Amino acid sequence: MSGVDPVPSELASGPDPVPSELVFASDGLLPAIIQDDDSGDVLMLAWMDREAVRRTLTTGRVTFWSRSRQEYWRKGDTSGHRQYVRGVRMDCDGDTLLVRVVQIGAACHTGTRTCFTGREVAALVGDPDADA
């Protein structure tokens, strides 16, 4: 839990803000897609457990669960590249979150604005009129 501020007591003592409809995988995690609230750019994907979701919903800053370090991390606590929550939605199955944020600085640990910048994968482009 290094580098992550505790949830203020007035938020921690209220009802559980985590929707009961959320479906966590057998490892207790679900993917969270992080999207820039202004541009709509997909910035990154990371993982949350129930506690990370709770922290995200109650603090206004995005918190993740690091699978490699086995600890919580809040974007920007070490890099200064922070994410401020603007809205959270779950998908139709309840097993993925979409978190809209104001991104300060780079979203990717490599220093790029998004984790998808410059990482194009060759793919055949489909033609929606071809199947008409």
CA of 31: how far to CAs of 6, 18, 89, 96, 110, in Å? Answer: 22, 15, 12, 5, 20
49 annotated among ligand-binding-site residues? no
Place of tokens 């640990």: 109
92 annotated among ligand-binding-site residues? yes
131 annotated among ligand-binding-site residues? no
pTM of whole model > 0.85?
no
What domains, with CATH codes, occur in the chain? 25-104 (3.10.20.810)
Quick check: 23 and 44 in contact, CB under 8 A? no
115 annotated among ligand-binding-site residues? yes
Q: What is the pLDDT along the chain (132 residues), one digit of tens a residue?
A: 344 444 444 445 578 899 889 999 999 999 999 999 999 999 999 999 999 999 999 999 999 999 999 999 998 888 889 999 999 999 999 999 999 999 999 999 899 999 999 999 999 999 999 876
27 annotated among ligand-binding-site residues? no
